[in-house]
């Protein structure tokens, strides 16, 4: 089969389109004929070696952690899926394999894709929508009318966090700039702070949850937005317990995982037009290096997708 293979850490140029062995599903796995797979900033960090201390990979390595396609075969213990099913998946970080014509995935990490969405649109959802789901419903356990501030609301995870928070009935405040401001308003965000024109910490206060989806120098101001007893949740770093105590709030880093139940619920909401992915640009699998280069430049809004013929 054709795949994108990495034989060493480096820039986008290490992504090579070449022949690779077709994987064989184990007893608890399914074989997926990949139709589309999505890029994530994490892909670049792993590719470049910036995360090798915590997420080392063995070469040769086929990246790709979220994809959509058709099941071609199943292991003998698989009961919930069958050959011919149209599915989408968010595989665990140790597995990967989405940048290829075929990938194998544990049954527990695969669900039927949204019927109303294409393979390209479906591939844009599992990791980022799954991350937002884990943050809001598992970590935060948000309730109706709670106030939530999202740093990085217009990012890939942020857009789903906004939609899920509104589904839960929360009052949502988020940061964005340029055309993304109108996009957030269209999704029902109650207040949008243009981070190029205002310091959000001067505008936002008394929130129940502050979500850090962006990191960077603006992170430290999140503490000021929380009410006493509120909670800071970060996907980028471990918040300081000392600072949390100083402000009288709770704080933790969220390590997100996506399971079958979450994927099924996300698909159901998508089919009810309550969740919408945002696709920025589509490349053929063979142009993965160019796609990574574009992602690294951070010059495009929306998910970058690789399609497989």
| Domains of the chain, first to last | 2-125+277-307 (3.90.180.10), 128-253 (3.40.50.720)
Angle formed at CA 238 by CA 236 and CA 244, multiple of 5 degrees: 120
User: Phi and psi at residue 18, in whole multiples of 5°?
Assistant: -155, 175
Token couple for 151? 């740093």
* Of residues 304, 284, 302, the one with CA closest to residue 293: 304
Chain CA centroid to CA 68, Å: 14
Rounded CA-CA distance 111/246 in Å is 43
Token couple for 274? 């309550």
Token couple for 238? 């471990």
Contact 280, 300 (CB under 8 A): yes
* Of residues 242, 222, 220, the one with CA closest to residue 232: 222
Q: What is the mean pLDDT of residues 140-150?
A: 95
Rounded CA-CA distance 76/33 in Å is 18
Contact 302, 279 (CB under 8 A): yes
Rounded CA-CA distance 139/157 in Å is 15
Asked if the model's pLDDT at residue 284 lies above 90, the reply is: yes
The helix/strand/coil state of 213 is coil
Q: What is the mean pLDDT of residues 43-58?
A: 92
Q: What's the residue count for the chain? A: 309
Contact 81, 50 (CB under 8 A): no
Asked if the model's pLDDT at residue 258 lies above 90, the reply is: no
User: Can you list the positions of beta strands (E) in 75-119?
Assistant: 86-90, 102-106, 110-112
Q: What is the mean pLDDT of residues 273-291?
A: 97
**Confidence at residue 190, expressed as pLDDT on a 0 to 100 scale:** 97
| Residue whose pair of structure tokens reads 């999140």 in the numeric block | 222
* Of residues 106, 36, 94, the one with CA closest to residue 62: 94
Asked if the model's pLDDT at residue 301 lies above 90, the reply is: no
Asked if the model's pLDDT at residue 61 lies above 90, the reply is: yes
What pTM does this model have? 0.93
**Confidence at residue 214, expressed as pLDDT on a 0 to 100 scale:** 85
**Confidence at residue 204, expressed as pLDDT on a 0 to 100 scale:** 96
């Amino acid at each position: 089969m054709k795949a994108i293979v990495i034989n060493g850490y480096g820039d986008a140029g290490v992504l090579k389109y070449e022949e690779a062995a077709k994987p064989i599903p184990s007893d608890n796995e399914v074989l997926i004929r990949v139709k589309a797979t999505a890029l994530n900033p994490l892909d670049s960090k792993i590719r470049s070696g910036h995360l090798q201390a915590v997420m080392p990979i063995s070469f040769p390595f086929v990246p790709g952690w979220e994809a959509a396609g058709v099941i071609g075969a199943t292991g003998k213990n698989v009961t919930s899926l069958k050959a011919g099913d149209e599915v989408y998946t968010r595989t665990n970080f140790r597995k990967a394999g989405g940048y290829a014509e075929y990938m194998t995935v544990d049954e527990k990490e695969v669900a039927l894709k949204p019927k109303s969405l294409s393979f390209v649109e479906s591939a844009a959802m599992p990791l980022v929508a799954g991350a937002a789901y884990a943050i809001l419903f598992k970590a935060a356990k948000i309730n109706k009318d709670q106030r939530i501030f999202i740093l990085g609301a217009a990012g890939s995870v942020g857009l789903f966090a906004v939609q899920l928070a509104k589904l839960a009935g929360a009052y949502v405040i988020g940061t964005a700039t340029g055309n993304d401001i109108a996009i957030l308003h269209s999704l029902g965000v109650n207040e949008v702070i243009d981070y190029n024109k205002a310091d959000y910490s001067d505008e936002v206060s008394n929130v129940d949850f502050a979500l850090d989806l962006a990191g960077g120098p603006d992170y430290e101001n999140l503490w000021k937005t929380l009410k006493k007893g509120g909670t800071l949740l970060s996907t980028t770093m471990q918040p300081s317990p000392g600072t949390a105590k100083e402000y009288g709030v709770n704080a933790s880093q969220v390590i997100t995982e996506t399971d079958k139940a979450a994927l099924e619920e996300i698909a159901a909401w998508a089919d009810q037009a309550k969740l919408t992915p945002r696709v920025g640009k589509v490349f053929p699998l063979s142009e993965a290096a160019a796609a990574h280069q574009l992602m690294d430049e951070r010059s495009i809004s929306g998910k970058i997708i690789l399609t497989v013929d």
